[in-house]
Amino acid sequence: MTKLPKAWYMDGRLRHLALADYEGTTPRWCPGCGDHAALATVQRLLRDEQIPPDQAVVVSGIGCSSRFPHYIHTYGFHGLHGRPLPIAEGVRARRPDLHLFVVTGDGDCCAIGTAHWIHSIRYNMKMTVMLFDNNIYGLTKMQTSPTTPKGGRSNTHPEGAPLSPLNPLSITLSIANVSFVAQTADWVPAHFASIVKRAHAHPGLAFIRVLQRCPHYMDHHWEPIQSDPRRQLLLFHPEGVPAQANDQRAFPERLEHDPSDLARAREVASRTDVWPLGVLYRNPCAERYDLDTAVGLGMSGADKLAALERELTQFEV
């Protein structure tokens, strides 16, 4: 990007935006890390939608995946471990104009940030939330996460994780006012892209769980699923991700799933034999808190002062 003539850079609004316009600093994830694919997917979305880098904000927590904002050229906020959602809510509250993305990890979202996860779903403020679930704490070097399978060895559980993992999809689908839940994986880029596109267009909070490979600490962890197409269940529906011509080959297991059916979505989410990929639930009519928080935006100074005078008069003696 910096190699482009300055005039081009300056006038990003006036010309076609290219992938290079969204390049941040060079990613420092391990080779083969699923986060690389995720980054490319979001960059392509911004390019495809021709969203100027200065109109987008990516908020993240702390973790390998939360390094994301540094590697993409938009406004970014690399915040605190577990707390990207409150920050994003604060951004959204008075800024309906910005394109807002949240990047979080399985430790970030499902352990330290659990309260915010639950409540952000209920607030349903418009943003695209991507949970990068590598089933491990990457950044801090391989500790058990709430999604680590039972028996999985880590530095905090060298004998194997003592408990069964929690299911982020089931949990999210059981929260009041949930409006969009999807699952994808870093190794199916086309699918990933169509999910992110759907999520970005969703009028509310879109929650995407991304199954993410961590070759550094969880080498071959997803391989049994990745290499066995029968363990991946493709969800298709005109209201979710529509069926594609070449689905057949990549995904022998397919299910036509109406994403407006919450009960079915919960059933699908809790299946243990297959990993569903697709939009599990979508309700474009859920209540949106960000519509409330934006009320009064743009009130003039004169109106504010007049209201203030009325307020003070109530206290006059």
Partner 1 sequence: MSSASMPEGSSSVAVQRVREHIVEFVCDSGEGAQTAGQLLGTVAAKSGHGVWTVEIIPAEIEPPVRSRAGASGNRVRMGRDAVTNMGDGADVVVAFNEQVLYSRIDVGAFKRGTVILLERKWAEDQSQVVRAAYADAIVEFGKVGYDVVEVPMEAECMRVVEDPRRGKNIWALGMVTWLYDLDVATVETELGKKLRSKGEDVVARSLELLSAGYSWAAGHLRFRYRVDCAPRDEARVVMNGNEALALGTMAAGIEVCSMYPITPATSVSHYLARSLKNVGGFVHQAEDEISAMGFAVGAAYAGKTPVTVTSGPGLALKSEFIGLAVMAELPLVIIDVQRGGPSTGLPTRVEQGDLLTALFGQPGDTPKIVIAPSTIEECFHDVVLARKLAETFRGPVILLSDANLATGQQPFRRPVPNEAWLSPPVDRCDWDPQVPPFAWDPETGLSSRPIPGQTGGAHVVTGLAHDERSRVAYESPVNQRAIAARSRKLATLFKSLRAPAIHGADHGELLVVGWGSTRGAIEEAVDRIRADGGAVSSVHLRFLSPLEPGLADIFRRFERVMTVEVNYSDDADDPTVPKEARRYAQLAWLLRARTLCDVECWSRVPGMPLPPGTIETELRARLDAVGVSSARSEGPPQGRGASA
The answer to the question of residue 106 lying near Mg ion (CB under 5 A) is yes
- Element holding 69 (H helix, E strand): helix 68-71
Contact 140, 152 (CB under 8 A): no
- Note whether 1 binds ligand SF4 by CB under 6 A: no
DSSP letter at 112 equals I
Q: If you search the block for the tokens 């690389």, which residue do you land on?
A: 36
Phi, psi of 20 (to 5 degrees): -60, -25
3-state secondary structure of 106: helix
Closest approach of ligand SF4 to the CB of residue 221, in Å? 10
The nearer residue to ligand SF4, 107 or 259, going by C-beta atoms, is: 107
By CB under 8 A, is residue 5 in contact with partner 1?
no
Q: Which of 39, 46, 57, 64 is close enough to bind ligand SF4 by CB under 6 A?
A: 64
> Based on CB atoms, which residue is closest to ligand SF4, 138 or 240?
138
**Interface mask (CB under 8 A) for partner 1, residues 16-45, using x and -?**
--------xx--------------------
Considering only residues 134-193, where is the footprint of ligand SF4 by CB under 6 A? 134, 138
Binding window for ligand TPP (CB under 6 A); candidates: 115-123, 135-143, 235-243, 296-304: 135-143
Binding characters for ligand TPP, 38-77, by CB under 6 A (x = yes): ------------------------xxxx------------
Q: Which residues contact 307 (CB under 8 A, 6 or more apart)?
A: none
Task: Work out how close the CB of 67 gets to ligand TPP at its nearest, in angstroms, rounded to a whole number.
Answer: 8
Rounded Cα distance, 68 and 48, in Å? 19
Among Mg ion, ligand SF4, partner 1, none, the one that 35 touches (CB under a kind-dependent 5 to 8 A) is ligand SF4
Q: Could you say which of 1, 30, 166, 250 contacts ligand SF4 (CB under 6 A)?
A: 30
Q: Strands 275-282 and 180-185, how do they pair? A: antiparallel
**Shortest approach of Mg ion to residue 291 CB, angstroms?**
33
State yes or no: residue 204 binds partner 1 (CB under 8 A).
Answer: no
Q: If contact means CB under 5 to 8 A according to the sort of partner, which of Mg ion, ligand TPP, ligand SF4, none does residue 30 touch?
A: ligand SF4
Q: Tokens representing 183?
A: 């699952």
Q: How far apart are the C-alpha atoms of 292 and 118, rounded to whole Å?
A: 19
The length of the chain, given as a count of residues: 317
DSSP state of 111: I
CB atoms near residue 217 (< 10 Å)? 18
Residue 115, interface with partner 1 (CB under 8 A)? yes
* 273 lines the binding site for partner 1 (CB under 8 A): no
> Which option in ligand TPP, Mg ion, partner 1, none does residue 140 bind, with CB closer than 5 to 8 A by kind?
ligand TPP
Per CB under 8 A, the list member of 32, 52, 242, 284 interacting with partner 1 is 52
Tokens 């203030």 map to which residue? 308
In whole angstroms, what is the distance from residue 25 CA to residue 181 CA?
Answer: 30
Burial class (CB in 10 A: 0-12, 13-18, 19+), 62: buried
Nearby residues of 274 by Cβ (< 8 Å), 6 or more positions away: 230, 231, 232, 233, 253
Interface residues with ligand TPP (CB under 6 A)?
62-65, 81, 105-108, 132, 134, 136-140, 145
Residues at the site binding ligand SF4, with contacts judged by CB under 6 A? 29-30, 33, 35, 64, 134, 138, 214-217
